[in-house]
Amino acid sequence: MAAKTTVKKASETTAKTTTKTTAKTTAKPAPKAAAKPASKATAKPASKKHHDRVFISEADQYLFGQGIHYEIYKKLGAHLSCEDGVEGVHFAVWAPNASAVHVIGDFNNWSENVSPMNKLGSGGIWATFVPDAKEGDLYKFLIFTPSGERLYKSDPYGNSQELRPGTASRIVELDRFCWDDKEWMEARRKKDYNHEPVAIYECHIGSWMRHPKPEAEGFYNYRLFADKITEYLKEMKYTHIELMGIAEYPFDGSWGYQVTGYYAPTSRYGSPEDFMYLVNKLHRNGIGVILDWVPAHFATDDHGLGRFDGQCIYEHPDPRKGEHPDWGTKIFNYEKTEVRNFLIANVLFWIRQFHVDGIRVDAVASMLYLDYGKKDGQWCPNRYGGHENLDAIEFFKHMNSIVHGTYPGFLTIAEESTAWPKITGDVNDDGLGFSFKWNMGWMHDFCEYMKLDPVFRRDHHYAMTFAMSYNESENYILPLSHDEVVHLKCSMLEKMPGYEVDKFANLRCGYTYMFGHAGKKLLFMGQDFAQEREWSEERELDWNLLVEPLNRGMYDYVRELLNIYRKYPCMYEFDNCWDGFEWLNCDDKDRSTYSFIRKSSDGKHTLAFIINMTPMLWEDYKLGVPTDKKLKLLLNSDETRFGGKGSKVKATLTPVEEQCDYKDHAVTLNIPAYTALIYIY
């Protein structure tokens, strides 16, 4: 999260500047392209829905008040309806402190007194049926506060929003799309991803590839992106894509980490049905979809959740609990049942309505610690005097229990940067219940080591081996994410020391170490072909580099690593225990070499990794091995096709009976400079 600090500070001012307008100016219809009708291949006629007059029952209100109405998004928001034979839209919003609420929009010419809402019971829900409203109309809630304020708010449960800088919600139907990913969805329920390959491609749609036509604002829509990204992911052999910034947000520079519309796919790239097309296409091609999800904080823009009805109902009213001073954002009030319901139902919404396969939960550490990013006086302790956020802890346990209990095979991934115990532990054993945790410690040690001039690497040798000492404590993902290539941190390539050819050789060694190490894998877009510039959301990746021999060689090499990773069970079957990993020699700091094996449950196709992190050729290098079988060369990072020098290495290693490295057999080989070798036996 530290890498996002600058962006998040900037977004508060910029986003407000573009959205502080009157209701009518923010509600101008978006360009027609923003709300495309579904194609014939993926659409069916909208069905006429018939509801009782009691659209929101007393039971609905009770369950919401208890924080356990897991389909509350079907009640709150805007829903096409038919009452007494009249078609229209049912609107509902939670605003417990409002003195009155009206719905305004295209259907009533934005008149502020035409469509008042009725308060239902004591829980704070307001509702009304508007006969003239229809799909595609823009709308907002006009909230009157007891103090006389008039607040123009987007719908917290709205499923679409006009293209920024407009901030009005849009009425849409989500049940029209014809899914044909049944085979994928059924297979997902049976998966235990601890023993499956997980190779994630983290991607920002708006800067992956830019559209040449100016009327598209430089963005490919979800459908065009789907066709291009699917081809790319299949060729590279990734198992999943993780999409940044899908829930609606006002400021491009926040990358989607300052959300205003948790229930709406951003209109930057098209309609909700367009996003469904993307997920469906990926599923039909065997690729899972993970969304970045941001329950830690939300944007302060006037049309959003902040002071929604004149008081703090989504954020904590105490600024010591309700504000992030470094990020300029509001913190959800996890004490409040309706807020917990809003967030947990939101995960279920993305699963049920859009078939997503996982969430990567942003900034988990900021939720777990009351003093995260705060100085003395900026936070208050819990009831026991500690800095743990007890309500956030219970929220995570609740969320993961419901999600995993209802949808086996769904992934919840924590971006958590501290040593908080049992992030992926069972909730019945006081764990938080996540599927995986990003191994931020490994990432930090890896990047710091790889940046070093080789002459200094011997003094930091154990930074690269340390992660295995705690590997069993959690189910880990090894992330090289967007946070590592922004804010003057340099691209992965530019972190490497030496001349240009050395940088590429270093990076090939580093990626080999990453793929061989225990833990699932994540690469940010562009890293797999050695993007040379830092990432920026304002431009596309430098795809032109693929014509350069070194960059093309890196692309081919990472594709080869991904193919090996997917092909051999030893690479992923045992990632959270020592059954699948064994050091051959982890102590050779003087020559900065690392060697280890990856093992499978059936004992077949064991892979041996030997990596030289120096510009020196190590001749007659003797290495202990736990086998008398011949080792055959599977991959050599120094091959000319990958941009290497083409140094010759032994195609076969024949073990001899000799004590070496605490093993009963040994092999002897030459290890070229900056070279990673993988052997198989």
User: Closest by alpha carbon to 677, among 529, 582, 564, 577?
Assistant: 564
Contact criterion met (CB below 8 Å) for 426 and 194: no
Q: 545 in helix, strand or coil? A: helix
Q: 82 in helix, strand or coil? A: strand
User: Closest by alpha carbon to 584, among 611, 623, 537, 539?
Assistant: 623
- What is the spatial distance between Cα 611 and Cα 517, in angstroms, rounded to a whole number? 12
Q: Looking up tokens 């190490």, which residue turns up?
A: 517
Q: Looking up tokens 């992965």, which residue turns up?
A: 492
| Tokens representing residue 101 in the block | 């609420």
| Tokens representing residue 302 in the block | 């006037």
- What is the spatial distance between Cα 53 and Cα 56, in angstroms, rounded to a whole number? 9
Helix-helix angle 337-354:58-66, to 10 degrees: 110
Q: Any idea what DSSP says for residue 317?
A: S
User: Closest by alpha carbon to 143, among 92, 99, 107?
Assistant: 99
| Tokens representing residue 131 in the block | 């006969």
User: Closest by alpha carbon to 476, among 107, 124, 126, 193?
Assistant: 193
Contact criterion met (CB below 8 Å) for 414 and 423: yes
Contact criterion met (CB below 8 Å) for 306 and 250: no
Contact criterion met (CB below 8 Å) for 515 and 565: yes
Q: What do you get for the CA distance between the two ends of the chain, in Å?
A: 42
Distances (CA, A) of 470 to 432, 442, 529: 18, 10, 31
Q: Which one of 326, 357, 362, 445 is the catalytic residue?
A: 362
Residues constituting the chain: 681
Helix-helix angle 549-567:222-236, to 10 degrees: 80
User: Closest by alpha carbon to 505, among 442, 557, 445, 563?
Assistant: 557
- What is the spatial distance between Cα 129 and Cα 123, in angstroms, rounded to a whole number? 19
Q: β-strands 358-361, 411-414: how paired?
A: parallel
Check the CA dihedral 80-84-86-90 and report its sign. Answer: negative
Q: Any idea what DSSP says for residue 9?
A: H
- What is the spatial distance between Cα 136 and Cα 37, in angstroms, rounded to a whole number? 10
3-state helix, strand, coil in the chain (%, to 5): 35, 25, 45
Q: Any idea what DSSP says for residue 56?
A: S
Residue 380: other Cβ atoms inside 10 A? 12
Contacts of 385 (CB under 8 A, 6+ apart): none
| Tokens representing residue 148 in the block | 């006389």
Contact criterion met (CB below 8 Å) for 71 and 102: no
Catalytic site includes residue 415: yes
Q: Which one of 415, 483, 528, 638 is the catalytic residue?
A: 415
Contact criterion met (CB below 8 Å) for 546 and 235: no
Q: β-strands 323-324, 663-671: how paired?
A: unpaired
- What is the spatial distance between Cα 370 and Cα 382, in angstroms, rounded to a whole number? 8
Distances (CA, A) of 365 to 1, 33, 369, 392: 9, 39, 6, 10
Residues noted as catalytic: 362, 415
